[in-house]
Each structure stands twice: as structure tokens, then as C-alpha cells.
Amino acid sequence: TYAYTGIPLIAIMDGIAPQKPKTAAFDRPLDMLVTFTSADGRKAHFSYGELTMVDDSLPVMLAFDRRQVLPTEDKAKSSYTHNLHKENLTGLRLICPADPDTARYLDNVVKITLGEIEVPFAGIPAMKKGEKCSSQSITAVSAKGSAPLSFAGVARTDASSWIRTGHGRGFKGISTASGYSLRETLRKNFPNCGEKNFFLFIACDGYRTLFSGREIFMTEAGRSMMIIDTLDGKKSPSGPMLGPIADYFVDRDVWGLSHIVMLDGVR
């Protein structure tokens, strides 16, 4: 166990305004991939949203100081062997406290890259600003083809006192939501999917957001993610909605959800 001091990525990314080409299918960074590279060439991948739209209780951070957390009793302290790292950091260490393991931790991070992830499938909606649309169904898309999304056998779930705040426009209210577990929905429709995949959620008007499989399947925040069909006791007029309930900002909510695209792991 260690105490780290560092810079949360939310503080770094908030000062970066990625400039996409005019031909991009979506004009915001929520569908972008963020890659960290260490001095020895190893990489760790995140979605832009899991670094910027979540709360700051367990932030992904670039740490510059590490101290062991040792037992308080002198006898236990002198013989304590559980901490593998005894020394302080000599560079920037990427740490991900919300992850259940250290697979995405990196020592000596030297580069952060933002890029668009390739979506090698036809028929994916591009963004149409100002379009009012409603989704009547959801299509599941992967390298194996596409098919209507099924909720057969998927557990329903609810969320109450959901505080909804927009990154751009502020407080939107406190809501209740009902729908289907996102984890179970993905497992039902994409057999053998997991933490190595990325998932792109797209609305009928082309609004889109990227999620990592690690965030969905391996974090506590992922446990509460849902596909919402009822908000505040009423059916959504725009159809099904992606609800990452634990996010601080609601910008990753996708109203009128029409496509879920599973992407293989990136390198």
C-alpha cells in the first residue's frame, strides 16, 4: 500500500481542446482514445470520457511522489515485506486507483496521445447537428456482423437520486431511472466480450461516446451503468438512453441510442 501525490488527468485534459478535422463523424472529443506511452515503449489506453467526465474520488493520475503506507507498530514496521516498491518515483507514474489491478499502471510516462479510434463498419450514423430524432431500436455491431440488440434474460436495474450536471450547461436536476444493466446487455449481445474491448455508443443523430471495457466490466462505476428506457417515471421520447450513472457530468449520456459498436482491443 502506498500514498501517491500527483496530478489528476481530469485537470490536464480539461486544458486541452482537441481539434478534429472537418470531415470527422463527430465534432467533440468524447469518442477519442487517449494513449499513454512510457519511456520503454509500453502503452496504456483509456477513453477520453473516463478521464474527464467521471468524479474525482479515484482519479487516474500522473504521480510524482510515492510513500509507503507502513504499519504503525514498530515491530510490524521493521519486518514488513508486503510493499514491493521501497523507493520514491524518479519520473511520472500513471496510476488508476479505480481499476482492481495495475495492468494500466505505467512508470516513466513520457507521452500522451489523443486520437480517433478506427470504426471499420458501414452504416454508422454521422453527427447531424440540430436533428431531432428518436431511436426505435438498437443495433449491435462487431466484426462478426450486426444484429438487433436483445434484452432477453437481462436483469433490470434502477437508479434513484441521480444528480445530473452537464459539463457545459450545469445542473439539470435530480432524476430516477430504470432500465437494463449495461454489463449484462453487452455480455448477452457480444459473447466473450470483456475488459480488452472498447465500445462506441452512437445516437440516431450521430452523438457518440467511447468507453473502455475495463471501465465497464472492472470498476464499481461500471456496475451502475445502464441502458435506460424510463426516466422520472416516463418513457423517453427519444427512445433508449445510455446512462453512466456514476459519472459526475452527464455528457456521456447518449439519448436516442441506436448503435453499440464493439471494437477489438487496441495496441
Q: How many C-beta neighbours within 10 Å does residue 6 have?
A: 18
With 70 as the cut, is the pLDDT of residue 267 above it?
Answer: no
Question: Average pLDDT of 33-45?
Answer: 97
Percent of the chain past pLDDT 90, that is, above it, reads 73
Of residues 44, 72, 52, 46, the one with CA closest to residue 12: 52
Instruction: Say if residue 265's pLDDT is above 80.
Output: no
Average of per-residue pLDDT across 175-189: 96
- When pLDDT is averaged across residues 58-85 and rounded to a whole number, the result is 90
Separation of alpha carbons 206 and 27, rounded Å: 10
Number of residues in the chain: 267
* Nearby residues of 94 by Cβ (< 8 Å), 6 or more positions away: 36, 44, 60, 61, 62, 63, 104, 105, 106, 109
Least confident interval from 4-8, 19-23, 28-32, 106-110: 19-23
The answer to which of 50-54, 77-81, 200-204 has the lowest mean pLDDT is 77-81
pLDDT over 80 (residue 266): no
- Percent of the residues in the chain that have a pLDDT greater than 70, as a whole number: 99
Task: Report the C-alpha gap between 198 and 203 in whole angstroms.
Answer: 17
Q: Work out the burial of residue 119: count CB atoms within 10 Å of its CB; fewer than 13 is exposed, 13-18 middle, 19 or more buried.
A: middle
The string of pLDDT tens digits covering residues 142-168 is 999 999 999 999 999 999 999 898 887
Q: What are phi and psi of 70, to 5 degrees?
A: -105, 160
Asked if pLDDT for residue 261 goes beyond 80, the answer is yes
At 126 the pLDDT is 83
* Residue 201 contacts residue 225 (beta carbons within 8 Å): no
Rounded to two decimals, what is the model's pTM?
Answer: 0.92
**Residues 185-233 pLDDT 10s:** 999 999 999 999 999 999 999 999 999 999 999 999 999 999 999 999 9
Question: Of the given ranges (129-133, 175-179, 184-188, 231-235), which has the lowest mean pLDDT?
Answer: 129-133
pLDDT of 231: 93
Best CA proximity match to 164, nearest among 98, 230, 231: 231
- Return mean pLDDT, the chain: 92
- Mean local confidence (pLDDT), 77-88: 88
